[in-house]
Structure 1
Amino acid sequence: MHLNHKNNYKKFLRQIYLTFAGILIVIPFIINAVATPAPNAGVRFNKSFTDTVPTDTTRRPGDTSVIPAVKDIPVPSLQPELPDSLPESPDLTGTDTMYVPKVSKDSIEAPITYKAKDSIVLLVPDKRFYFYGTANTKYQKTTLNAERMNYNQATGVMEATTATDTAGKAYGRPQLDDNGQAFDSDTLRVNIATHRAKIYNTRSQYGEGYVLSKQTKREADNSIFGYKNGYTTCNLDTPHFQFNARKIKVVPDKLVISGPANLEIEGVPTPLFIPFAIFPITHGQQSGILVPSYIVNAQKGMGLQNGGYYVGLGENFDMTLRGEIYSYGSWMLTASPTYRKRYRYNGGLTLSFSNTRLGDPSVKSEFNRSRDFRVNWNHSMDSKARPGITFGANVSFGTSRFNTFNLYDYASRVNNNLTSSINFSKTWQGKPFNFTSSLSHNQNLSTRDVSISFPSATFTMNTIYPFQPKEMVGRAKWYHKLGIGYNGSLNNSVTFKDSVFGKAAMFDALQSGVKHSLPIAFSIPVFNNFTLSPGVSYSEFWYTKKTIREWRPNKRVSLDSLGGIDTTYQSGFFAARQASASISLATAVYGMYQFGKTSKVKAIRHVMRPTISASYTPDLARNAYYYLQYNRAGDSTRQSFFTSSSVGVPTDGRSGAISFQLDNNLEMKVFSKKDTSANKEKKIKLLDGFGINGSYNMLADSFKLSPFQIYARTNLFDKLNITASGNIDPYEVNARGKRVDNYVWNTGKLSLGRLTSATVALQTSFQSSDKKSKDKQQQLSELENEQSNDAAFQAQQRQLEQVRRNPGEYVDFDIPWKLDLSYSLSYSNTVLPDSGGTVKTFTQYLAFNGDFSLTPKWKVGVTSGYNFIENKLAYTNMYISRDLHCWQMSINLVPIGTYRQFSITISPKSGILRDLRINRSRTFYDL
């Protein structure tokens, strides 16, 4: 193409109009590297592009194919001139005839849109078209962008190339997007008729992988053949690693196949060769093998873990089968089926069985064998599936030694409790009724105690106002605010050692009960600033078993001790009841202290909310209590026959109590430059709440004053969260720790009483700013929205489990540093009713979790704690992570404690190459 063709563009077009006026001109071209496969398109890699140009594409009568419209350039009419009149038919009753315009043989199937920033030149005699300056063409689902394009109508070949600037540097590389597949190259040629293409120095993306080829041949069936190729998941122009192969074939949306390939890292070939490679690029669910990883365990020996098979059974169901095996004979099998119904529900089940062999079988004293199991089930229901009904489950149970031999992550090691819950609830829309039913389970792996509550059901009627008219006229009467409600509960519970599961001892401890509650209350304002709230309540308790504990002086507790308590059970139907009447008066008192105008502290406001109430409870449950002797000295205590009941016990004795509560909060207003209002003020909470409460029973024979409960909570500077609470007993105790009916302040001490329990907790968190926090929050919100609709929730749960097992592989390099601190101090002084002694306990613990970046690509982190009572570190997990762009390295270390572990992992970030992870682990634990 010469430049004079471009400069004489307008003169050239004028000649075209004068010479070829009235002649049909069809300007077809297509940029299509992926098109409908041609039948029997079996061609070789080096076959010519122009030897299969179609010979007959004549438009037939009735053909409604679209004739393309070429934009931005004046073009003569695409229709031939017709005669002024049609020939008259000799027979007026005959059939009319019409001329059908002839269409060019090389017409195309759909319109083409195109544009160029500089100019477009048409050479009609040569049947060529030239595009200059950021050219863009669109045909059906194919888009091509390049700096230069030209089309030869005679051969049907379209070519896209780069341009060169004054410095000799190429720019404007051809970018092809064909039905979602992207290609980047420096030269592209495509035959419109055969839909075959030849591409040079191309870079194509297939799923998570990229294929870089010196030459690429695309066939009509969409398959691609590459010559001198590299396959990688690194998205850089010069990748950190790639698999080099001389020949490669890509079957779109299925897989990439290559011959012998060599791994190259940072441009340096490695000694690692593979005879062939298959990289799946299929979208959606696919069954396949899960490659195991190598591990060394000091007690179990060398082994392979997490190997197995994934079974895809459709969009509603799948299953993962994994196994572990060790050289000393230990093994474990795990089956994890998951299920889902879009917009309905989703869930998953995990079944694990393990056989652990430790030590030498020939030495019985050193040999240990344990067969264990663990079952986990979770289920969630989409709230839109059935409005008003919810169902969910989170179940976890198993043997107490499963964690000891089979789990190594931090969260499982420090947690000695297994909990389960299954919940169903129904709400009647437009009505005040609610129903819930549940199953709960708690298992302590240290004490081996198991508690199960099933079935548990609650039916509630929210407060209704039967005397309130539907349409209020005038001022409301006091009885209009009279409300009545109902609460009924059914509960069956049992607590036992896991060794008696399913045996008679477990069923003997089973407790069943029903409780009915009927509250009646209303509130009315009095004296403008006070609220008066009278109320009456009645409760009925039904039991199926009575627990009787008796002192046996001849019962042998140990070799040198006689006397103990025997427990027996009596089945039947037993009832107890409780009633009470109460009235309360509450108000709020505000106090404000104003500072001077020049002070940065403008004001401090104190709010007090005192409440005083009186209640009366008759003794309706005297038959539910008895005196229990608990030692040889004859000391006794008042105890209920239904102490272990699942629905509670009514109050013993009559009560005429006056209760009080005082709640406070403290706020401060300070000067703030950031405040955009005219006041320039900022409100700071000094104390969110602090107060005290207690009661005095005027009808009790002794110990009329209840223990005082004090509490305080605040969040200083929106960083430090502080909570504190305690119980103070106002009565003295004797030398044996037994309470005496005498107030502490009567002995001359300036004190409210004896502190029986107290807790103080502090928690704070610090971290540097995250520039990508908004994007991450948006992704998290999108994931939460998808959880109820598909398998995203299950994927997230599996991801969280992986994070707990190996935190070093899942660090956030966008946050340079972070630190989480929590401190807790608790104290208790408990009187033992069976012995009369006291037990004082202290716990003081500091937990910390943090990480920091040595460089933008190196991260160091630690999770640990310190027990001040035992003066030793808690379970500690340290990790080091290195971001290698397309790879990541992590080192995890558990240096101290019963469980010690070391592991180093180097793995690609892409899920398609997850089997290439290199892992070296060693685990130690003391029995």
Structure 2
Amino acid sequence: MLLLAILLIAQPTDTVRADSVGRDIIYYGGKRVIFSAKTEEVVLLDSAWVRYRDMSVHSDSIHYDVKRHQLSAHADVLFTSGSENITGNLLRYDVDSRKGMMRTAYTTVENGFFRADEVWLVREKVLDARGGSYTTCDRAHPHYDFYGPRVKLLMDDVAITEPVVFKLFGAPILAAPFWMVPVASKRRSGLLPFKIGNSSTEGLYSKNIAYYWVINDYSDMTFYADVMTKRGIQGRAEAVYIVTPFAQGNINASYIREWDTRQQRYSVSAAHRSDRFFLGSQLDGKLDLMSDATYIPDYSEDQLEWLKPDLFSYGQISRSLRRVGSVTILAQRKTEFARHIRWADFPSVKLSIAQRPLFAGWNLSPSASFLHHTADTLDTTNTIVAARTRDLLGSGALGISSPAYSIGPLGTATVSERVSFNEGIKYHNDSLGEHPRSISNALTANMEQRFMGTLGLTEAVSISQSDNLRDTVPIKVAYAGSVTGRATLYRVYSLTSYGVRGLLHTVTPTAALAYEPRVDSGPLFGRPHLLDPQIARLGLGFGNSFQAKVDTSGTKRDLGTLNLATSYNFLDSASNPLKRLSPLTGTVSLDPLQGQKLNLSVDASAGFDFDSLAFSRSYSVATTFNLNRISFDSARVERGFQVGLSHTYIRSPAGSPAHMITGSAAFAIPGWKLSLTDFGYNFAEKQVTNYGLLLTKDLHCWEAFAKLQKLGTRWSYDFEVRIKKLPDLKIGKGTFGSLLPRIGE
């Protein structure tokens, strides 16, 4: 319909007589041309055509009245404007009045085809059609169509039909007194398709009765109504706005006062981001509210929504302070339904001062923060607070750091120190509790050396001090030192098998010695016993990575890694030296197959206990495999199969092992596809945790599917027949819900 209007309207506004000054030339032709000078008429016969600018008419015969500026074409008419075409049996068009009519009109429109017995251009950008029909089926006799005896089209706005009849194989099935459909190339306000059905819990229903409102070029809103004869009327609204870079976000809300339970239930979710907020700040936030834990699962058709475990909302404002630093103000709240806990930070403030240069490359880094934290223990309904704790915590810190000093053969050296002060007030059920106040300091010095580009050595020493100013306990002091050595070694193997054209093996051995002496309580620096360690440990690591060059272009592909680590504790019992050595842990990650059709990856970790000379009881293996042999021909018909598997095994000394396999599969032949959309089996509990089966049948312009899903103890099934290009128009389980059994819902 829209295309037809464009073709009829897209004619010149300056059309005058052919011999007038300034008139564009009209070209015409045919195998036989008859011109009547007396009546000023031209008749074109046999392959006749007329062309003006980018418009043309082709037909068996064309009659053009030069005096009246009227054109008529008969039999197999093809009207073309640019790259768009419309066909019919008769075309009449008046150039001066810009009105026209075409009979048996047929054209391609958005996602489908439009036919009409007659189409009239009654005035500029307004069309009337008689006996109009729309379908997405490309057959000469379509499987279905939407028929309207009277259709009015407001160009680039909306199409209105009254009434509208849905026909299946030419037989009327459903009807409505009128309908409005947006037909603009841009977004336009209008009604949207809805669905009707029947359910034992909801009764007769009509869902997604919607009006789409285009507010402006940057925002729109959709209003929904779900009418259920047993539950009531649920109102919903969705809003989306994008005003880059100032703001973007969305708002979703729903509300219902249930007729059967008399409960008022609601949900509100929103997200917002603004990179240019007040006074140059940035705003980022999320809102998530719900009346009760089961509201969304009760009404949602999305399986993922069934498992929504909590609610989380936050709002954050951050601003960069020119030449000073940045400030962040955060408010957040979370409700955990299963644990009956609700906590909130309101507010949390962080002030970070940019590094301030002092002298000779030294820098100063101040920061401060404040936190008001509340934690509520809720009753089983998650509505009444049984207990509450409230904390007010403030802290400030001042850091100083040096540049990297070059000290000749000893490499480079850096020094840093950080002093922090913390104070808080804690309440329990609104009663004053603790009032902590503390101060701490950490001083660290590092040296780093590099040799021949492959060897590295790092030494570090530190002292840390902390004091609780609310008690008389002496200052806690700790000293620490460490030495870390590392190397990076390479080896290239000239392999030319299985498409590999070279293998790079990178080895990174590391050794780290950590030492902390015992410190007695004392004045500011305590009393360290340098030869009496409380920590003395040597850590050893051996990393391996493998990279191959594949195909003729030498593409590099990472094949995997193998890492080993252990440590030796010098303080373990000397009677049994083996106890000093911690278990050797190893992790491996392999990606041997990385093709578009075949993928395989393996991740594993395990340990070896030197004490018992046996592998440890803690290990894990995760394997992922995917084989995709589904192909499409030129008509987009699917053939082949697909299999995806993921296996996980995690064992720990405490508790039973976690042993799961998940996967998906599909098998397709022309016209049919059977899919295992998801599958999970828990070997430890010997039960299927979830699965989903989907059977799809291609019905040309339609498609039918049957679906069965299980998640935990909850089951659901569904079946539908729907139009491919108009998926909201469907007939399925919802239509006959009260007549069908409910399984596990």
Specify which of 632, 657, 669 is matched with residue 842 of structure 1. Answer: 657
What residue number does 1:637 align with?
none
The TM-score, its normalising length taken from structure 2, stands at 0.72
Paired with 1:910 and 1:621, the residues of 2 have a C-alpha distance of: 78
- Conserved in 2, the CA contact under 8 Å of 1:820 and 1:850? yes
Provide the secondary structure at the position in 2 that maps to 1:870. Answer: coil
What residue number does 1:868 align with?
683
Pair 1:340 & 2:229 matched: no
What residue number does 1:650 align with?
none
- Conserved in 1, the CA contact under 8 Å of 2:156 and 2:183? yes
- Conserved in 1, the CA contact under 8 Å of 2:266 and 2:295? yes
Shift of 1:907: 3.0
The letter for the 1-side match of 2:179 is: I
Q: What do the CA deviations read for 1:787-836 (whole angstroms, capped 9, x no partner)?
A: xxxxxxxxxxxxxxxxxxxxxxxxx976965444333333444xxxxxxx
Paired with 2:325 and 2:685, the residues of 1 have a C-alpha distance of: 52
- Conserved in 2, the CA contact under 8 Å of 1:688 and 1:715? no
Pair 1:111 & 2:24 matched: yes
Paired with 1:253 and 1:270, the residues of 2 have a C-alpha distance of: 31
Q: What do the CA deviations read for 1:51-75 (whole angstroms, capped 9, x no partner)?
A: xxxxxxxxxxxxxx978898xxxxx
Distance 1:223 1:598, change over 3 A: closer
Shift of 1:302: 2.7
Distance 1:484 1:194, change over 3 A: same
Q: Which of the two has greater helix per residue?
A: 1
Q: Which of the two has greater strand per residue?
A: 2
Pair 1:137 & 2:57 matched: no
What residue number does 1:899 align with?
714
Shift of 1:656: 6.2
What residue number does 2:623 align with?
762
What residue number does 2:453 align with?
none
Distance 1:822 1:855, change over 3 A: same
Paired with 1:130 and 1:865, the residues of 2 have a C-alpha distance of: 75
The letter for the 2-side match of 1:111 is: D
Provide the secondary structure at the position in 1 that maps to 2:8. Answer: coil
Shift of 1:590: 0.6
Please identify the structure whose Cα radius of gyration is greater. Answer: 1
Pair 1:575 & 2:448 matched: no
Distance 1:135 1:342, change over 3 A: farther
Gaps spanning 5+ residues in structure 2: where? 1-5, 447-457, 459-483, 524-532, 574-578
Pair 1:518 & 2:432 matched: no
What residue number does 2:560 align with?
687
- Conserved in 1, the CA contact under 8 Å of 2:78 and 2:88? yes
What residue number does 1:351 align with?
253
Paired with 2:426 and 2:189, the residues of 1 have a C-alpha distance of: 58
Pair 1:823 & 2:647 matched: yes
Distance 1:601 1:388, change over 3 A: farther
- How do 1:395-410 residues align onto structure 2 when only pairs under 5 Å count? 395-398=287-290, 399-410=292-303
- Conserved in 1, the CA contact under 8 Å of 2:195 and 2:730? no
The letter for the 2-side match of 1:342 is: V
Pair 1:34 & 2:12 matched: no
The letter for the 2-side match of 1:675 is: T
Provide the secondary structure at the position in 1 that maps to 2:655. Answer: strand
Shift of 1:192: 1.8
What residue number does 2:589 align with?
713
- Conserved in 1, the CA contact under 8 Å of 2:377 and 2:385? no
- Conserved in 1, the CA contact under 8 Å of 2:327 and 2:350? yes
Pair 1:544 & 2:424 matched: yes
What residue number does 2:529 align with?
none
Paired with 2:591 and 2:667, the residues of 1 have a C-alpha distance of: 26
Distance 1:150 1:419, change over 3 A: same
Specify which of 675, 689, 694 is matched with residue 552 of structure 2. Answer: 675
Specify which of 260, 269, 281 is matched with residue 376 of structure 1. Answer: 269
What residue number does 2:40 align with?
127
The letter for the 1-side match of 2:79 is: Q
Shift of 1:153: 0.7
The letter for the 1-side match of 2:563 is: F
The letter for the 1-side match of 2:8 is: A
- Conserved in 2, the CA contact under 8 Å of 1:336 and 1:348? no
Shift of 1:902: 1.9
Distance 1:371 1:220, change over 3 A: closer
The TM-score, its normalising length taken from structure 1, stands at 0.60
Shift of 1:542: 1.7
Shift of 1:310: 3.1
Computed over aligned residues only, the root mean square deviation of the Cα atoms, in angstroms, reads: 5.2
Specify which of 215, 222, 238 is matched with residue 314 of structure 1. Answer: 215
Pair 1:589 & 2:488 matched: yes
Distance 1:183 1:862, change over 3 A: same
Provide the secondary structure at the position in 2 that maps to 1:876. Answer: strand
The letter for the 2-side match of 1:720 is: L
Paired with 1:310 and 1:686, the residues of 2 have a C-alpha distance of: 53
Shift of 1:376: 1.5
What residue number does 2:103 align with?
200
Distance 1:331 1:504, change over 3 A: same
Provide the secondary structure at the position in 2 that maps to 1:840. Answer: coil
Specify which of 444, 452, 468 is matched with residue 336 of structure 2. Answer: 444
Provide the secondary structure at the position in 1 that maps to 2:623. Answer: strand
Specify which of 290, 296, 309 is matched with residue 416 of structure 1. Answer: 309
Specify which of 325, 345, 348 is matched with residue 228 of structure 2. Answer: 325
Q: What do the CA deviations read for 1:62-97 (whole angstroms, capped 9, x no partner)?
A: xxx978898xxxxxxx7xxxxxxxxxxxxxxxxxxx
- How do 1:574-653 residues align onto structure 2 when only pairs under 5 Å count? 574-581=437-444, 583=446, 584=458, 585-592=484-491, 594=493, 602-608=502-508, 610=510, 612=512, 614=514
- Conserved in 2, the CA contact under 8 Å of 1:400 and 1:448? no
- Conserved in 2, the CA contact under 8 Å of 1:899 and 1:924? no
Q: What do the CA deviations read for 1:508-561 (whole angstroms, capped 9, x no partner)?
A: 254635363736366578999x9766553435252424699xxxxxxxxxxxxx
Paired with 2:723 and 2:678, the residues of 1 have a C-alpha distance of: 25
Paired with 1:492 and 1:867, the residues of 2 have a C-alpha distance of: 42
Shift of 1:857: 5.6
The letter for the 2-side match of 1:175 is: F
Gaps spanning 5+ residues in structure 1: where? 1-30, 38-64, 71-77, 79-103, 163-169, 359-367, 469-479, 549-565, 624-653, 729-743, 774-811, 830-838
Distance 1:138 1:659, change over 3 A: farther
Provide the secondary structure at the position in 1 that maps to 2:215. Answer: coil
The letter for the 1-side match of 2:592 is: L
Specify which of 134, 158, 175 is matched with residue 79 of structure 2. Answer: 175
The letter for the 1-side match of 2:395 is: V
The letter for the 2-side match of 1:763 is: T
Q: What do the CA deviations read for 1:431-489 (whole angstroms, capped 9, x no partner)?
A: 68444443444443333333434433444456677666xxxxxxxxxxx6x66655554
More RCO (CA 8 Å, sep 6+):
1
Paired with 2:517 and 2:639, the residues of 1 have a C-alpha distance of: 59
Distance 1:662 1:174, change over 3 A: same
Q: What do the CA deviations read for 1:95-136 (whole angstroms, capped 9, x no partner)?
A: xxxxxxxxx5xx88x635657799999775663457786956
Provide the secondary structure at the position in 1 that maps to 2:293. Answer: coil
Shift of 1:191: 1.9
